[in-house]
Amino acid sequence: MVERKKKIKKIVKKWREIEKTWIGDVVYAILGLILAYVTYHYILAFIFNTPTPVVAVVSSSMQHDNPEVTHYKWLEEHFGYNRSYIDSWPFPNGFSVGDMPIIKGSKEYKVGDIIVYKVNGVRAPIIHRIVKINEDGTYQTKGDNNISQFPYELKVRKEQIYGKVIFIIPKLGYVKVLINRIFGVMW
């Protein structure tokens, strides 16, 4: 037992020496990345019941730059929704590039929910609002700031949906936005 304690003390002493060098910095950086990966892909994914619990907003499709035209007027003309009904939806003012929505998987989605979903042929997930539930149970979505719907938004199946936005952390996603814009990377 005494021999084992001596070995442990020796290892700890050696690590304390290494820790003060650039090698220690690299080891801690790698451990930090591993911890972040495990936290995101396993812990948060389990807690929020989705493989995509956190996203960074990289487009302006949910901003309210001109909501009178792109949001309220469009919804009234296409679905007959009035302003008070639209304003009762979650996150009635949308959100901006660089914001970081927290996503939770759900068994049910309703008109007004902002969902994150995948589209074949598109690398990044889409984050738009449900504007209608079709008779066949599929969903129609639209970005609050978009002039109209894209073809892929007319029949979003439940299997495509990662979850709905339950909380937004403002501006925390700018690191991803900058990497995306500098290197053209979508992750």
Q: In which residue ranges of the chain is CATH 2.10.109 found?
A: 67-183
Residues 6+ apart with CB under 8 A from 63: 94, 95, 96, 97, 144, 145
- The least confident of 8-12, 130-134, 150-154, 181-185 is 181-185
The string of pLDDT tens digits covering residues 22-76 is 988 888 888 888 887 787 778 888 989 998 898 888 889 999 999 999 999 999 9
Task: Give the angle subtended at the CA of 111 by the CAs of 46 and 141, to the nearest 5°.
Answer: 85
If you search the block for the tokens 């814009």, which residue do you land on?
Answer: 181
* pLDDT for the residue numbered 14: 87
The string of pLDDT tens digits covering residues 73-122 is 999 999 999 999 999 999 999 999 999 999 999 999 999 999 999 999 88
The topology (CATH level 3) of 67-183 is Umud Fragment, subunit A (2.10.109)
